[in-house]
Structure 1
């Protein structure tokens, strides 16, 4: 039994994307951004563009438009495959939207409103489906590293020098109790 290169490519895309926690997505214009996803029904499904969700703004992810998806190895973190995709925005409440949201809810970590997250996504977010089209893209030779986008988040400051000593003292006092 021989398999065509298209079937092998499709299997590689599916397996790599299923196993990776993040994919790097670039729309028709704009930068490439790491986004969490689920693989559902032959495509990568994403939720974002709402308060507290991953941003799609500036990526050029329009309904019916193209996107390029790069998948990394979960073990090594290196690029495995890059594939072209067609973006389709799911209509809230449709059967396809419901099925995608059920899968996405299971992967959404730390949702502030886990019981009502689907309702919030229907009101405030976009659910996108990135379906593979065409053949695999050639992996580039060099690094694709880019400067991270600006953010109001800050890194932690160094802990005060006396803190470890105070913590040790507190632990010793409890063990005598």
Structure 2
């Protein structure tokens, strides 16, 4: 009983203090901004100008990983049940009141609540179980292949150009003559 309360307290405190949580539903892991309210993490997204929430549907489960705000390392991971809050319901209004205070750089200011009601989803991630054991190795995923990471050989003239620029700068800074007036 006491261990379960301590786990719940750790999940709550770590999630409250972290600006981002990593969430994995049926889709890929995503770093999502959130608000901790009424014993659960609340997210808003899937609308124009908001974060995508792939694989997070009503009644699904999600794996949440919370990182340390100062060091960036994993603090705790927990399993959550996902509940989509119906727009304009009492729970939705309470969650949105908290979310709108944390939303940075909203393009439409106070009108964002209306936009969220019309085009976005507000999700509640309620903790079910916590995993306090840290992994032995790194959980980092290798980067996806992309042509942007392909290295090209350095052009043959580049070292010569850089060397020449450095010599010109030194010569200009070493010139003892005062600047000429036009």
- State the TM bucket, normalised to the shorter chain: 0.7 to 0.9
Q: Residue 32 of structure 2 is aligned with which of 32, 35, 49?
A: 35
Residues 21-170 of structure 1: pairs in structure 2 closer than 5 A: 21-27=19-25, 29-57=26-54, 60-136=55-131, 138-146=133-141, 147=143
Correspondent of 1:14 among 7, 12, 15: 12
Structure 2 length normalisation: TM-score?
0.76
**Kept in 2: contact 1:84–1:134 (CA 8 A):** yes
Q: Deviations over 1:70-119 (max 9, x none)?
A: 00001100000000000000000000000000000000000011111110
**What 5-or-longer segments of structure 1 have no aligned partner?**
151-160, 162-177
* Alpha-carbon contact 2:86-2:92 (below 8 Å) kept: yes
Q: Report the CA distance shift for 1:25/1:117 in structure 2 as closer, same or farther (over 3 A).
A: same
Whichever of the two has the greater Rg, that structure is 2
Structure 2, unpaired ranges of 5+ = 147-164, 166-182
Q: Cα offset for 1:148?
A: 6.9
Distance in 1 of aligned mates of 2:79 and 2:71: 23
TM-score by length of 1: 0.78
Task: Tell me, yes or no, if the aligned pair for 2:58 and 2:84 is still in contact at 8 Å.
Answer: yes
CA distance in 1, matches of 2:18, 2:144: 20
Q: How big is the alpha-carbon RMSD for the aligned residues of Structure 1 and Structure 2?
A: 1.9
How far apart are the structure 1 equivalents of 2:46 and 2:100? 16
**Aligned-partner SS, 1:92:** coil
